[in-house]
Structure 1
Amino acid sequence: MTHAGAAAFEAGEAEPAFRPRSPAALLAIALATIVAFSGFCALGVWQVERRAWKLDLIGRVEARVHSAPTAAPAPADWPRVNAADDEYRRVRIEGVFERGKDTLVQATTELGAGYWVLSPLRTTDGFSVLVNRGFIPADRKDPASRAAGEPSGETTVVGLLRMTEPKGGFLRANDPAADLWRSRDVAAISAARGLTDAAPYFIDADAAPNPGGLPVGGLTVVAFRNQHLVYALTWFALAALVAGAAAIVARHEFRARR
């Protein structure tokens, strides 16, 4: 050890705790910071826009649910029926229920586990519509146990227009061959019941009481998840963390180069 090195050692000098990074490393850090910061900010802005869209949707649906009922779409209108403009619209329809063609769809409601009773209504205009007449508990699956609630003659139904429930997704698949239904798939149910002129939508009947008390209508749940503000704040917080980390690195570099 040289005299200067020994003196430095004895004086307690040490190597710097932080060495300046190379220009290439700094460029890579800068690019990564810009990409991450921009990406998180973009995701935050997107969630803000989604929140505005969701609030508008909720407002429009609330207006439909509480509006006066209008005539259910006729065949000429079916190509224009869509979820954005028609889902949860209050409609009214007249006709006669076709006996012996009920479809029981598994359901879980505030009343417990059981089934939705979907019955085809032959309208006075000459086409068919599947009507979700309401909920029955599992122990009333046998038609004889709820015969008192079967409608007869011409009936007027008021309820909410609903779009067909898709196959797959979080709903388990239907098994038409076994008459096992887990979703209200209008096309599949219509085919199984021999309906060749059924509307592409179904109607959730309102809470008007049925004879015998069953099925129980008016149990449609109109609710939309709206967590977009939480998601937006999360993305913006991550952007702030990236900016803070970049500031710390910049400060260390500045100190090391002084």
Structure 2
Amino acid sequence: MRPEDDETRSPARAARPSLWLTVLSLIAFVVLVALGVWQVERRTWKLALIDRVEQRVHARAQPIPSRASWPAITAASDEYRHVSVAGRFLHDRETLVQAVTEEGPGYWVLTPLERDDGTTVLINRGFVPSERRDPSARQGGNPDGQVEVRGLLRITEPKGGFLRDNVPQHNRWYSRDVSAIAAARDLHNVAPFFIDADAGSRSGPGPIGGLTVVRFPNNHLIYALTWFALAFMLAGRLFVTFRGGLFRRQRFVHEPAGGLDASARRTGSDAGTIVEPT
């Protein structure tokens, strides 16, 4: 074989993708499609969750779950249920949890509500600004005696807030951790959830209730389209590469075996063979 033959074959060889690059590309395509399908499934789940929570929030208030059912309470089955509970506030054992709301920075006021059956439920009575964190600044808003509270059932928030751990020994709270608050305030028979009081539970200058934010980000369709678009572009690139390399057809022409001028071509028994891509 003459040097001219290698030079003629080199463009076709250069256009062919290597095996390992082809395998990695196919794996990437499968992964991108799988991610797109997963986001579609997540979107279906999120829409069902939003619809379920909307129904719970706007339903008629029901009594809180019985003590026997407390171990079975989960976020999926119970959170944001509209509930009601009656009892007596233990204002001397309230806990302030740092919060940022539409009213600005301040605190959630979590007050134990002691029920007639001896159980206790933590009530997030609402928000107070920093200048009213001292109970003496809102004594007129702390009702005595038997009260009824309506609001949304919320699941405990253990261990603290984002990058900030609760410090019970210094009375610094960044999340509504029911068990930790109960231990710090020497409370017993405490429900494993708390209740966000609604706006109608406010009394005088007491905490502002009804500030629960019920919002579920739903960007799964955008994510799905992004993954599918990347998969489509990769598939297009693979098609172009394969069509120009592995699967391109070749045709044969003849070149004089002894001729130095590649343009002088003829057929016959003394002709050599070269390959040209079509």
Task: Report the 3-state secondary structure (helix = DSSP H, G, I; strand = E; otherwise coil) of the residue aligned with 1:208.
Answer: helix
Partner of 2:83 in structure 1? 91
Partner of 2:255 in structure 1? none
Asked if residue 29 in structure 1 is aligned to residue 17 in structure 2, the reply is no
Asked if residue 189 in structure 1 is aligned to residue 177 in structure 2, the reply is no
Contact 1:171/1:183 (8 A) holds in 2: no
Partner of 1:18 in structure 2? 11
Output the CA distance in 2 between the equivalents of 1:92 and 1:47.
Answer: 37
Partner of 1:174 in structure 2? 166
Of 139, 142, 146, the match for 1:150: 142
Larger radius of gyration: 2
Residues 3-82 of structure 1 correspond to what in structure 2 (within 5 A)?
Answer: 18-21=11-14, 26-82=18-74
Contact 2:83/2:152 (8 A) holds in 1: yes
> Deviation digits for residues 32-81 of structure 1, max 9, x if unmatched?
22211111000100000000000000000000000011111121010111
Output the CA distance in 2 between the equivalents of 1:139 and 1:53.
Answer: 42
Task: Give the counterpart letter for 1:191 in structure 2.
Answer: A
Contact 2:152/2:198 (8 A) holds in 1: yes
Gaps of 5+ in 1: 9-13
TM-score w.r.t. length of structure 2: 0.83
Contact 2:160/2:175 (8 A) holds in 1: no
Return the structure number with greater strand share. Answer: 2
> Deviation digits for residues 102-121 of structure 1, max 9, x if unmatched?
10000000000000000000
Output the CA distance in 1 between the equivalents of 2:244 and 2:161.
Answer: 51
Task: Report the 3-state secondary structure (helix = DSSP H, G, I; strand = E; otherwise coil) of the residue aligned with 1:159.
Answer: strand
Residues 93-242 of structure 1 correspond to what in structure 2 (within 5 A)?
Answer: 93-168=85-160, 170-242=162-234
Output the CA distance in 2 between the equivalents of 1:213 and 1:99.
Answer: 15
Contact 1:108/1:114 (8 A) holds in 2: yes
Output the CA distance in 2 between the equivalents of 1:56 and 1:127.
Answer: 34
Task: Give the counterpart letter for 2:71 in structure 1.
Answer: P
Output the CA distance in 2 between the equivalents of 1:53 and 1:135.
Answer: 32
Task: Give the counterpart letter for 1:65 in structure 2.
Answer: V
> Deviation digits for residues 148-206 of structure 1, max 9, x if unmatched?
10111000000000000131562510010000101000010000000121000000000
Q: Quick one: structure 1 residues 16 and 146, their matched pair in 2 at CA, closer, same or farther if it must change by over 3 Å? A: farther
Range with bigger deviation, 60-69 or 239-248: 239-248
Range with bigger deviation, 224-233 or 204-213: 204-213
Shift of 1:19: 3.9
Task: Report the 3-state secondary structure (helix = DSSP H, G, I; strand = E; otherwise coil) of the residue aligned with 2:13.
Answer: coil
Output the CA distance in 1 between the equivalents of 2:108 and 2:58.
Answer: 23
Output the CA distance in 2 between the equivalents of 1:196 and 1:53.
Answer: 37
Contact 1:20/1:257 (8 A) holds in 2: no
Partner of 1:248 in structure 2? 240
Output the CA distance in 2 between the equivalents of 1:257 and 1:191.
Answer: 81
Range with bigger deviation, 69-78 or 105-114: 69-78
Contact 1:112/1:137 (8 A) holds in 2: yes
Q: Quick one: structure 1 residues 72 and 30, their matched pair in 2 at CA, closer, same or farther if it must change by over 3 Å? A: same
TM-score w.r.t. length of structure 1: 0.89
